[in-house]
Amino acid sequence: MNSKIKGFTLIELLVVIAIIGILSSVVLASLNSARSRGADAAVKSNLANIRAQAEIFYDSTNNSYTNLCSNPTVFNMVTAAASAGGSAHCVASTTGQGWVVSANLKNPTVTNGKWCVDYTGAAKEVTATTNAMCI
């Protein structure tokens, strides 16, 4: 009678476990990258929506942006952008003629990069803002 036990050797099992470990680390690295790109997309979307809301606000307040940042809809969008990116800031000029909103990005292309939108229609990654413009 031939009594051979069939199964995997310890070496074969260790190789399979090592391969699974390598593949899972690659997947986790890709997942983190996708999360940061998704957070950046959320920031950009919220700030783009603020631009449209700012124009509605401007028309309804006798052509002034003075209290734009305290408008509940704008405030909620700034809060959502801050939640996605880490922080966000809204500034309306004291003359009521301009505004700027910027929010941190999770995966900026420049050091300390923030996504910025302003009353001139600019929407870009910047490292600094003035009181009413993305520079």
Which residues on adjacent β-strands are paired with residue 103? 88, 115
Q: Is residue 32 part of a domain?
A: yes
pLDDT surpassing 90 at residue 132: no
Each residue of 48-80: pLDDT tens digit? Answer: 999 999 999 999 999 999 999 999 999 999 999
Quote the domain boundaries for residue 21.
Answer: 10-126
15 falls within a domain:
yes
- 128-131-132-135 Cα dihedral, nearest 10 degrees: -20
pLDDT at 2: 64
Are the beta carbons of 101 and 134 closer than 8 angstroms?
A: no
> Does residue 76 lie in a domain region?
yes
Strand residues in 1-135 grouped as ranges (E) = 88-92, 99-104, 114-118, 123-126
10 Cα distance to chain centroid: 46
Segment 11-22, tens digit of pLDDT: 999 999 999 999
- Is residue 131, in this structure, part of any structural domain at all? no
Confidence (pLDDT) at 110: 85
DSSP H or E stretch at residue 130: none
Structural domains counted in the chain: 1
> Is residue 3 a part of any domain in this protein?
no
Q: How far is CA 46 from CA 75, 110, 111, 116, in A?
A: 11, 21, 22, 11
Residue 4 counted as domain residue: no
Q: Decide if 77 is inside a domain.
A: yes
Place of tokens 């801050």: 82
Does 30 map to a domain?
yes
**69 within 8 A of 61, measured Cβ to Cβ:** no
pLDDT, position 111? 84
